[in-house]
Amino acid sequence: MTQTVKRGGNSNHPEAGSAIAVEPIRRLEDIKAIKKLLADKPRDLALFTVGINTNLRASDLLQLTVSQVRGLKPMDEITLKERKTGKARRISLNRACVEAINAWLKTMPKDMDDNDPLFSGQRGPLTVGTIHGLVKSWCKAINLKGNFGSHSLRKSFGYHQRVTFGAGLPELMTIFNHSTQKQTLAYLCVQPDEVKSVYENQL
């Protein structure tokens, strides 16, 4: 899977129009390290937590509004239209998402409008390029080697659903709107490992 990102002022961004193959964050200890790194940054922690606990693309994370998430309880469902496909997407937010979102909401100005984007900065709403740079900087800060970007959040969700929690391929195919199991395995960067594991079985 490649991700094309427009060049911005952040040195973490690739050249304009270039593409990189981004990876999931495979190790749970690295996910914990990033959460620890962001412990005093509630917006970034909420962005990271929701990103790795849902199949939302960065562009869809940026569509979330304050009104959509205010007052949510774990496993409550929200609906949004995917920016890439135009299709309505229904997702449930788990406890980790809700707790991180609520912590972020508590720090927001009291006059925050319900229609305002959930993830914004001092200069206004974030962009996909901004998220790309943030993810790269977080991974670099914990000395994580590899190619990472905004799409790594979504891929991390799928990777761990499969590898850590044992989610079935049919369910993951539906979640990611893939047409074949091979496509899902390749997308989640688990196909080589699962094929190799077959040869470890001894008769």
Q: What is the 3-state secondary structure (H, E, C) of the chain?
A: CEEECCCCCCCCCCCCCCEEECCCCCCHHHHHHHHHHCCCCHHHHHHHHHHHCCCCCHHHHCCCEHHHHCCCCCCCEEEEECCCCCCEEEEECCHHHHHHHHHHHHHCCCCCCCCCECCEECCEECCHHHHHHHHHHHHHHCCCCCCCCCHHHHHHHHHHHHHCCCCCHHHHHHHHCCCCHHHHHHHCCCHHHHHHHHCCCCC
More confident residue, 7 or 189: 189
Indicate whether 10 pLDDT > 50. Answer: no
Indicate whether 198 pLDDT > 80. Answer: no
Could you give the domains of the chain? 2-167 (1.10.443.10)
pLDDT tens across 41-51, in order? 999 999 999 99
pLDDT tens across 34-91, in order? 999 999 999 999 999 999 999 999 999 999 999 999 999 999 999 998 888 888 888 9
